[in-house]
A and B are shown apart, each in its own frame.
Chain A
Amino acid sequence: MQETNLFDRRSTRDLSRDIRLSILRTHRTAGGGHLGSSLSIVEIMAVLFHRHIRPIQPEEKTWSGDRFVLSKGHAALALYCTLESTGQISAPQLATFGKNGSALEPHPNENLLPQVHVSTGSLGQGISAAVGLALGMRLRQTGGRTFVLIGDGEANEGQVWEAARSATMLGLSNLVVILDDNQMQQDGPTPDIMRMADLPASWSAMGWAVAECNGHACNAIETALDVLLATKGSMPKLLHARTVKGCGVDFLENRTESHYPPALSEEELALVQYRLQRF
C-alpha cells in the first residue's frame, strides 16, 4: 500500500534521536518555546512521518493522500523538526522558528506553511477538523487516512468528546487519533487539575478501536499502529500512547516547568546530547 522507498529507512529510534536533538537546538536558537509537549511526541511523529504519512506532492490533487492534524498545536516545534527530517522543510527555514514573521509560527499556520494541513492552536478544534477531513475522504473515496494527534490536557475540552462521538456515529474507519497521554498540562499534572476518567476505556465505550503503547518505544508504536490500521469494520481508531512530558531532558521530565522553559545552555545541551547518543 505504502511506497516504502519514500521513507527514511533508518530505524525510527535513530530518527527520533535526531528529531529530539533538532528540537532542543531549534528551541535554543529561538530562545524559548513549548518544549515539554514537543519532546513528548517525538517518537510518535517519527513513526507517523517516516512510516505512514507520505508527503503530498505539489502536482497531486489537493484532496488525495493522507492528512495529519496536530490538534495540540503548541507542539508545533516537533512537527517542524519532523518535517525537516523528512526533507519537507529546509534547515535554514527551520532556523527561523521563533523569529518575528516566521512561517514557522509557535502554532501551525497553513496560510504561511503549506506543509501544515490544518492550522491549529485552539485546543479541541483539530480533532473535529480531522473528522471532517476523514468524512470528506470517504465521500470522495480517495482511500486516504486522517491522522490527528491530541493531548490528554486537550481532552479537557468538551469539543474533543463531541468529535469523538461524531466519528463513531459517522463510522470513520479512516480516522486515526493518537492520544499523547503525558498526564501533564500547562498548570501541572492533569489529574490534579481536571482528572479525566480512564481514557482508553472511555474511548472504547464510545465505540472506538483502541490500542495502547509506550509512546517513546518506536517498535511498540509501530506494532500498535499496524494492528490498529489492520482493524476491520467501521470503527475509528485511537492509539493511546503513554508518554513523558519533556522526555529526554532529565531535569524537565514530568515537570510543570517543562511547558515553556527558557533555552537550554550549551553545557546542558551537550550533556543531553551525550546521554541521548549513549542510549
Chain B
Amino acid sequence: MNHSYRDLLLAIGEVNGLVVVLDAGLGTSMQTEGFARAFPDRYFNLGIAEQNAVSVAAGLARQGFIPLVHTFSNFLSRRAHDQIALSVAWPGCHVKLVAGSCGLFDGRNGPSHTAIDDLSGICALPGMAVLEPGDMAQTESLLSWAVNTPGPCYLRLRRHGAPQNLLPEREHIPGTTLVHASNAPQCTLVACGSMLETVMRAAELLQDYGCALDLIHISRIRPLDAAPILHSIARSGRLFTIENHVSSGGASDLIAQAIGPVGVPHFRLALPDEFLPAGAPEWLLGYCRLDAACIAERIAAILSGDSYVSIYNSLPGRSETQPTR
C-alpha cells in the first residue's frame, strides 16, 4: 500500500486524540487538509507566522496535547529558531516540528526555500530528537515514534517524490540500521536520512565492480546510535557519510564526533558550501555530485588509489555527473 503524509497524519489523528495539528499558512503544501477535515477541533492554521506557531505549540503541550507544527524546514529552522530553542527545547516540551523541506530534494524554489543548513542549528539544541526517514514506510514509523516519545522532536521530511519502501525489514524504532553487510568490507557507507535510495544505488554500482562494502542507514540523527557504525568501521577501516545537508553541523559532524577516538579516515559527501541554484532533485543531485554514479565514482576514486582509473572508467553513467540543464 502506498503511503502519503496526508494519510499518515490522518491515521495518527485517529489513533491519538491528543494530537493537535498547527499550520503556518502552508497547509496545502504540508498535506494537512485531510486531518483538518477529519478533526476540525484539533486543527489550527495560525497563518504565515512561524514564530507564534512554535510558541503556541509549547503552550498547548503544557496542557497535555501533542502539537505537530507544520511548515517548511527552511522557515521553521531559520525564522523560528529562537522559539524552537527557548519555547520548546529548553522546557523540553512534547512538541513535534514537522519540517517539510528536505535539502536538495525540495530545492525547486531556490535558496529561500531550500533547507541546506537546518540541521546545524537544530542538532545543537539540548534534548532535541532529530529524525529524517529514508522512505515513506519509515516515515510512518518515525511519525508514530515521535508522537509517542515525550520531548521535542524535529522531523525532516521530503515533500516531493519520496520513495515508498526501500528496505525489506522495517525497524519501528528510529535509529541506525545495517542495510547490507559484507564479509570483508573495504569501506562503510552511511546514508543519512533521505539519501538512502541514492546511496543504495551507488552501493550497487560499487558492488557490481567488485567493491565489498557495508551500508548503514540512519533515520535518527540525534540522539545518534553510533554502535553499528563503530562496529562496521572496525572491520572496513574507511567511512563515507553521505548526507543531504551542508557538511558543517549535520549528520556527518555528529558521526565524526562519535567515531573521533577510533581514528578511521572519514570522507564526507555532503552539499557544497554554497546556496544552491533552483532545480529538480535529479538535477541538483548531479550539480552537488551526489547522484548514484557520482557517489560511486568519488568513493571508487578514494578506494582504488592506483587502480582508480580503471574503476572510474568502467562505471556507467559517468556523463550524468554534470548538470544537464
Residues of chain A having any CB pair with chain B under 8 Å:
62-63, 67, 110-111, 117-119, 121-122, 124-126, 128-137, 139-140, 142, 146, 158-159, 162-163, 165-166, 169-170
Which of chain B's residues have a CB closer than 8 A to the CB of A137? 63
Q: How far is the CA of A119 from the CA of B251 in the complex (A)?
A: 30
B312 close to chain A: CB less than 8 A: no
User: Which of chain A's residues have a CB closer than 8 A to the CB of B49?
Assistant: 159, 162, 165-166
Q: Are B47 and A133 in contact (CB under 8 A)?
A: no
B91 near A128 (CB under 8 angstroms)?
no
Q: Which residues of A contact B54 (CB under 8 A)?
A: 128
Q: 8 tightest A-B contacts by CB?
A: A132-B59, A136-B63, A128-B55, A162-B52, A162-B49, A132-B56, A133-B59, A129-B59
Q: Which of B58, B86, B92 contacts A132 (CB 8 A)?
A: B58
Contact of B82 with A by CB under 8 A = yes
Q: A128-B55, A129-B58 are in contact. List 17 more A-B contacts (CB 8 A).
A: A62-B64, A111-B92, A128-B56, A132-B55, A132-B56, A132-B57, A132-B62, A132-B63, A133-B63, A134-B59, A136-B60, A136-B63, A136-B64, A139-B42, A159-B55, A159-B83, A162-B47
Q: Is B82's CB under 8 angstroms from A122's CB?
A: yes
A239 to chain B, nearest CB (A): 20
| Residues B86 and A122 in contact, CB atoms below 8 Å apart | yes
Q: Mark B91-123, 1 if CB is under 8 A from A, else 0.
A: 110000000000000000000000000000000
Q: Is the CB of B51 within 8 A of A130?
A: no
Give the shortest distance, in Å, between B186 (CB) and chain A (any CB).
48
For B90, the closest partner residue in chain A by CB is A119
A62-B64, A121-B86 are known contacts. Are A131 and B44 too (CB-CB below 8 A)?
Answer: no
User: Chain A residue with minimal CB distance to B95?
Assistant: A132
Interface residue count for B (Cβ, 8 Å)? 29
A201–chain B nearest beta-carbon distance, Å: 22
Chain A interface, DSSP helix/strand/loop, else mixed? helix
Interface of chain B: mostly helix, strand, loop or mixed: helix
8 of the cross-chain contacts (CB-CB < 8 Å) are: A63-B62, A128-B51, A132-B57, A133-B60, A135-B44, A137-B63, A162-B46, A162-B47
Contact A165 B55 (CB under 8 A): no
Supposing A119-B86, A119-B90, A163-B52 touch, asked if A131 and B47 sit within 8 A by C-beta, the answer is no
Chain B 59-85 against A: per-residue CB contact (8 Å), 1 yes, 0 no?
111111101000000000000001100
Among B61, B62, B91, B92, max chain A CB count under 10 A is at B62
Query: Please, which residue of chain A has its CB at the minimum distance from the CB of B51?
Result: A159
Q: Is B188 an interface residue (CB 8 A)?
A: no
Which residue of chain A is the closest to B92 with respect to CB atoms? A111
Does B169 belong to the interface (CB within 8 Å)?
Answer: no
Cβ–Cβ < 8 Å partners of A162 in chain B: 46-47, 49, 51-52
Taking the nearest CB of chain B, how far is it from the CB of A55, in angstroms? Answer: 17
Please report the C-alpha to C-alpha distance between residue A133 and residue B52 in the assembled complex, in whole angstroms: 13
Q: Is the CB of A158 within 8 A of B51?
A: yes
CB distance from B60 to the nearest CB of A (A): 4
